[in-house]
Amino acid sequence: MASEDTPLLVSDAELAHEALYNRFSPSRKRTIIALVSCSAILPMFASGSFIPSIPQIAADLNSTGPIVSSAVSLSILGAALGSMLFATYSGYYGRRPMYLFGLPLLCLGSIGVATAKTIPQLMVFRFIQAFGTSGGLAVGGGVIGDIYKLTERGTAMGIFLAASLLGNAIAPIVGGWGARYSSWRNVQFGLFFVGLFVFLGMFALLPETSHPGTLGIDKSEESEETTIDREPKFKWVWLNPFSCLWLLRSPNLLFTIAGATVMYTDYALLVPIAYTIGARYNITNEAIIGACFLPLGLGNISEYSLARLSCFEFELTEPLIQVGAPLAGILSDRAVIKWRKRRGGVWVPEDRLRATLLGAATFVPLSIVFCGLIIHFIPGPLGLTLNLFCFFLNGLGVDLVLSPSSAYNVDVMHSESSQMLAASVGLRSLLLSTAISGIVPSINHFGVLITNTAVGIIAWGGFILLWLTIKYGDKMRAWVDVGYSTIETT
């Protein structure tokens, strides 16, 4: 990979490449981040708001909880397939068309779920709903890579991922309160209106962010002979959405699947909450149980709130950036700058992953292990309070891992950033859909302490993968070259 030998002196090629990131003004970039961040909330919101409604849906449709719960796994599958398809076609037709096509599917699916009369109807429209939301993460990461340069990308990615994780935290609260005090159908109608609002914002304000001449359709048109009389026409091209998975033959990219291990701790805390915190502390009200999800979201809000300020502070001096930037973003961006300077100008992409180590080694695994210990040994309000504090630490730690990891994927595969993120999200979703199904049975059989400890050990395994990537990343990249970016192209 040529970038390791690139000096700090700025070349003409590097200056020309950096000019690509000045196509949009700072205010326009803030608008774009706000739009794609809103879209990133929707996948988590559609999934999380459904879970507290399962008992009510089962009663309404004359079914059972386990059968209705299968719609969650089906939606995860739809999201995995959709993310790969939208990411693949975003590299050919552009980012903007993917949003304008996917969001109406979300709206259609939400209306279908809200009006479903049978379980088969519910399943079909849940799949459509999840499929429509799936481009939010994969394509949004590509948009971030399009408009922000290397040393600003981590901060922007921190904002983007904090928004998505915020949706994951507040969705169960909305779903729980909506199901108890209104109807699960009204929750789905509400999701329709939110999706419609985001679609209108995308239609009116989102430009095409792909770098000029890089789209597949641009290259196709350049290769065709044109005449003055000929009008440009849309031409459909069949692409393989699973081709992005081939990028994971690189051990560097495959090892960032460590993000799945930290996300697993999220689900291990939240999915069985009625059987852990609810049962231990005698909480039966669905709305209150949903509110217990909030501290985890606050772990992300603590970064997201600062991130909102940092959007206005990119041009400030370094000490002020330390105050205004989100924690995950500042750690990863500063790691890139610090270590490149320390090496005399040599850029090593894995330096960004150094920002993940604090969260991966401490906050994420320790928070879930301590939750198991607290539930097992500490009763009453004190035990509940300590558990909610661990939820907060977990939310903070998860973002500390996911944000730099996603930015790293964009750094090393900039020309195929959406495809790389789709491969990562798709594989992560498939692994999680399998692993999540074993959480409640494990708690019933082994207890919450053993189950949480086992999940914590899995999370420490993710830390080891990240550490190996940092230490041996250059050698691992030499094993398989999947078209890594250089300092001039990242």
CA distance 113 to 128: 9
Element (H, E) at 160: helix 150-181
**Residue 103 sits in which domain range?**
2-11+26-207+244-479
Contact between residue 182 and residue 357 where contact means Cβ atoms under 8 Å apart? no
What's the CATH code of the domain at 426?
A: 1.20.1250.20
User: What pLDDT, on the 0 to 100 scale, is given for residue 15?
Assistant: 63
Return the half-sphere exposure (C-beta side, CA atoms, 13 A cut-off) of residue 79.
30
Which residue in 330, 365, 316 sits closest to 463, CA to CA?
Answer: 365
Based on the structure, what is the number of domains in the chain? 1
CA distance 406 to 329: 11
User: What pLDDT, on the 0 to 100 scale, is given for residue 301?
Assistant: 58
The answer to whether position 224 is within a domain reads no
Token representation of residue 148: 């922000």
pTM here?
Answer: 0.71
The answer to whether position 18 is within a domain reads no
Query: Residue 459: phi, psi to the nearest 5?
Result: -65, -40
Token representation of residue 448: 């919450």
The answer to whether position 238 is within a domain reads no
Return the half-sphere exposure (C-beta side, CA atoms, 13 A cut-off) of residue 70.
9
User: What pLDDT, on the 0 to 100 scale, is given for residue 129?
Assistant: 93
The count of residues in the chain is 490
Contact between residue 162 and residue 307 where contact means Cβ atoms under 8 Å apart? yes
The answer to whether position 80 is within a domain reads yes
The answer to whether position 427 is within a domain reads yes
pLDDT along the chain (490 residues), means of 10: 47 64 88 90 80 79 76 77 86 91 94 93 92 83 84 75 71 80 89 94 93 77 50 70 84 84 86 82 78 74 45 36 46 81 84 89 95 93 93 87 83 75 77 76 89 95 94 88 72
User: What pLDDT, on the 0 to 100 scale, is given for residue 487?
Assistant: 67
The answer to whether position 127 is within a domain reads yes
Token representation of residue 208: 């095409």
Which residue in 142, 365, 350, 156 sits closest to 253, CA to CA?
Answer: 350
Contact between residue 306 and residue 325 where contact means Cβ atoms under 8 Å apart? yes
The answer to whether position 485 is within a domain reads no
User: What pLDDT, on the 0 to 100 scale, is given for residue 302?
Assistant: 56
CA distance 488 to 413: 12
The answer to whether position 20 is within a domain reads no
* Amino acid (1-letter code) at residue 365: P
Contact between residue 42 and residue 102 where contact means Cβ atoms under 8 Å apart? no
CA dihedral 161, 164, 169, 174 (to 10 degrees): 160
